């Protein structure tokens, strides 16, 4: 434990200073150097000053060690959080000429929240938005919450160990699939969400994981949407739920 190690380090430093002082005093007395009261007073004053300097140096060393330990701990916690989020995976099941279908599999240890899923096509403006759908084509568990440029459809939460199927929100793309002339490698699916601490993360189908600071989006009135529900978290395409 860092606190115990620091306490022991300080005690060792004090003991070393006292030992040096005692040996020095014995030597000076034996040599007859400290034979006058004024000399004894001056020596005691100097000894106290040296002791104070030694204690101050020990305190500084303890502070530096604690700061380094804190820095290492922060780094370890950040690495652990990133490794856990890396267990959230996204996979696109469709390609050119089809309506998009993407699965977000939360393999992390905690729920992910405020989930946005979309796909970008290289060379095209705009985005393909995705959401949890019913057979009727009505989005469930979704709400319109602007988030950075071009994102608005947010899913409430995906529990740990749960896959969720997201289908293309056709009303947001004029009921058109991805053009068949687009090469498959020009399509990239993304998901952006918060962890339990409120930090934002972005993943893509190529396995990239990044912590992000989303840009502010202009406010807009939410569209009427059914109340939030966990319907659709079955790991099956919406057509089979």
Q: What is the pLDDT of residue 17?
A: 63
Domain boundaries along the sequence of the chain: 2-85, 88-240
For the chain, helix, strand, coil in percent to 5 are: 35, 25, 40
208 near 89, Cβ under 8 Å? Answer: no
Rg over alpha carbons for the chain, rounded to the nearest Å, is 32
Mean residue pLDDT of the chain comes to 77
Of 103, 222, 231, 226, nearest to 167 (Cα)? 103
Tens of pLDDT along 55-88?
Answer: 777 777 777 777 777 777 777 777 888 889 989 9
Residues 6+ apart with CB under 8 A from 202: 190, 191, 192, 208, 209, 210, 212
Measured at the alpha carbon of residue 87, what is the angle toward residues 137 and 196, in degrees to the nearest 5?
A: 80
Put simply, whether the predicted model's pTM sits higher than 0.75 gets the answer no
Tens of pLDDT along 170-225?
Answer: 888 888 999 999 999 999 999 999 999 999 999 999 999 999 987 665 555 444 44
Q: Is the pLDDT of residue 229 over 50?
A: no
212 near 201, Cβ under 8 Å? Answer: yes
What angle do helix axes 37-85 and 2-30 make, rounded to 10 degrees?
Answer: 160
Could you give the count of Cα atoms lying within 13 Å of 182 in the half-sphere of its Cβ? 19
């Amino acid at each position: 434990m860092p606190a115990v190690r620091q306490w022991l380090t300080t005690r060792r430093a004090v003991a070393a200073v006292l030992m040096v002082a005692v040996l020095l005093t014995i030597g000076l007395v034996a040599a007859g150097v400290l034979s006058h009261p004024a000399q004894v007073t001056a020596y005691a004053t100097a000894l106290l000053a040296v002791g104070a300097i030694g204690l101050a140096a020990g305190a500084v060393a303890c502070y530096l060690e604690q700061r380094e330990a804190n820095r290492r701990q922060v780094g370890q916690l950040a690495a652990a959080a990133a490794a856990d989020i890396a267990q959230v995976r996204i996979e696109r099941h469709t390609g050119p000429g089809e309506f998009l279908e993407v699965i977000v599999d939360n393999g992390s240890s905690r729920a992910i929240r405020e989930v946005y899923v979309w796909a970008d096509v290289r060379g095209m403006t705009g985005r393909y938005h995705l959401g949890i759908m019913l057979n009727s084509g009505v989005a469930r568990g979704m709400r319109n919450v602007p988030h950075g440029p071009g994102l608005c459809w947010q899913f409430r939460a995906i529990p740990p160990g749960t896959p969720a199927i997201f289908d293309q929100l056709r009303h947001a793309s004029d009921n058109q699939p991805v053009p068949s002339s687009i090469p498959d490698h020009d399509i990239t699916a993304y998901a952006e969400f918060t962890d339990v601490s409120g930090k934002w993360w972005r993943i893509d189908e190529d396995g990239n994981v990044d912590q992000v600071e989303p840009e502010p989006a202009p406010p807009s009135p939410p569209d009427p949407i059914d109340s939030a529900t966990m319907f659709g978290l079955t790991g099956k395409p919406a057509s089979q739920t």
